[in-house]
Amino acid sequence: MKDTARKRDRSQGTPPIGQLALGAMFEARATLYETVVHAGMGVLAAMLEEDRTRLCGRRYEHDRDRQGTRGGHTEGELPFGGRRIRVRRPRVRGSGGGEVPLPTWQHFADADPLTPRAVAQMVLGVSTRNYERSLEPTPSGIESRGASKSAVSRRFVGATTQTLTEMMGRDLSALAICALIIDGIHMGDHLVVIALGIDEQGEKHVLGLHEGATENESTCKALIEDLVARGVRSDRSRLFVIDGSKALVASIRKTFGRRALIQRCQVHKRRNVEDHLPESMKKQVGRTMTTAYRCGHFERAKRMLVALARQLDKKYPSAAASLREGLDETLTVLRFGMPSGLERTLATTNAIEFVNSRIRKKTHNVTKWNGGTMVLRWVAVALVETSKTFRKLRGHVGMPKLLAALRAHDATLNSTSVDASKEAA
């Protein structure tokens, strides 16, 4: 009989028990959400009434110690689920005629998560016009506002302006920065130059940024001067890892002089050389350059690259000239005797290229940039979000070697200055 009943259910298309349970769960979800919200509103109303009773005493009872009298109810607004909802609240009038605030109401009104919620949604790629759709629906019977495109935009602008101000005004003097990685990122018609600092423990820090139309000397100079003004000392030797921009090199040299040890990105140099070669030669030349960069010895690497440039002279003179240009600066880290892991990390701008890729990902929904201020605000908030995922620099265990090399360079420069002073005297 049981087998016959099962066969009859299947023939009539009765859904399996699992499907019935799943469908009921989705129906119950909406019901549960509304039930929880309405229950929470009831608890809030009870808490507000308890505050009023504490201030005014029980209804229809005389209380000489009361701090106010009942003043009926009024409409107010509280943040809820990324928007504001209208809530009817009790009022208390003080002896002087003014209104006495209710502690519970003040607590929930001051704990405003709307701005952080709007910023988080924008950074995750939700546009202002789709913000309201990304929120949980408001339960029936509750009026809401504050999720419109203009309201969300105002909150985002205010929050990102504050983020930018804090970033550009942060004191850097407490950071033991020994290396700076600097690179630019294009945002529409604007270029933002970003400085990433590496401290003595290998931790990464976003130091600053500056906006300009191009990566010219004035833009780079403004960034470097801002870093020095906020606490990055220019009287200590530091390693600067850059992509090879001549304007950036000039700005660094003007401020830090001989204490700036410049490492040009080996990946950028390899690409620059390969751009002057036919496809049949790119892999071979690229492998030779990589072998030289990874040999671990400055003089040996330089001999290999000079020999390669001589080989390219006859057929590909432009590639040879590109290879020779700034050749020593592509090998700076090989002078320090660092472990290979840290040496390879600091030989390229990959660390800041990763940061730039995150910025592009977080700003990809912006199709129109209305001025440099908007660009800086977006980049600043993207940098703050990206910095939350920072880990120590790869090969950071070798940082003492880098620090020792920098201090030795300082000692050499100081002794040279003393000798020059004695000769002048």
pLDDT tens for 142-175 read 877 777 788 888 888 888 899 999 999 999 999 9
Distance from C-alpha of 197 to C-alpha of 180, rounded to nearest angstrom: 5
pLDDT (mean) for 376-381:
93
Q: What confidence score (pLDDT) does residue 28 get?
A: 55
CB 363 within 8 A of CB 187: yes
Backbone torsions φ then ψ of 187, nearest 5 degrees? -125, 95
Query: In the chain, what percentage of residues exceed pLDDT 70?
Result: 90
pLDDT given at position 53: 87
* Helix, coil or strand: residue 263: strand
| Cα(247)–Cα(399) distance, integer angstroms | 28
pLDDT in tens, 249-275: 999 999 999 999 999 999 999 999 999
Confidence of residue 331 (pLDDT cuts 50, 70, 90): very high
Q: How confident is the model at residue 308 (pLDDT cuts 50, 70, 90)?
A: very high
- ∠ at Cα 301 (299, 306), nearest 5°? 95
Specify whether the CB–CB gap between 100 and 120 falls below 8 A: no
How much is the pTM? 0.78
- Residues constituting the chain: 425
Supply the DSSP string of 30-76, one letter for each residue.
HHHHHHHHHHHHHHHHHHHHHHHHHHH-STT---TT--EEEEEEEEE
What sign does the CA torsion over 417, 418, 419, 423 have? Answer: positive
Q: Given CA atoms 152, 155, 158, 161 in this order, what sign does their dihedral have? A: negative
How far apart are alpha carbons 309 and 322 in whole angstroms? 9
Over residues 306-322, mean pLDDT? 95
Instruction: Tell me the H-state helices in 57-148.
Output: 103-110, 114-123
Weakest mean pLDDT among 4-18, 57-71, 112-126, 129-143: 4-18
- Position 254, amino acid: K
Q: What is the pLDDT of residues 207-252, one digit of tens each?
A: 999 998 777 778 889 999 999 999 999 999 999 999 988 889 999 9
> Using one digit for the tens of pLDDT, what is the confidence trace for 23-68?
554 455 556 777 777 788 888 888 988 888 888 888 877 777 787 8
In 3-state terms, what secondary structure has residue 244? Answer: coil
- The average pLDDT across 117-142 equals 78
Nearest-angstrom CA–CA distance, 416 and 135: 66
Confidence of residue 307 (pLDDT cuts 50, 70, 90): very high
pLDDT at 24: 55
pLDDT of the residue at 390: 93
What is the pLDDT of the chain when averaged over all its residues? Answer: 86
Residue 80 has pLDDT above 60, yes or no: yes
Percent of the chain at pLDDT exceeding 90: 50
Q: What is the pLDDT of residues 87-128, one digit of tens each?
A: 888 988 887 778 888 888 888 877 667 777 788 888 777 777
Q: Which of 289-303, 338-352, 411-425 has the lowest mean pLDDT?
A: 411-425
Q: Which of 1-5, 43-47, 192-196 has the lowest mean pLDDT?
A: 1-5
Instruction: Give the pLDDT score at 152.
Output: 80
Look at residues 77, 107, 99, 98 and name the one whose alpha carbon lies nearest to residue 89: 77
Query: Angle at Cα 297 formed by Cα 294 and Cα 301, nearest 5°?
Result: 65
Q: What is the pLDDT of residue 387?
A: 93
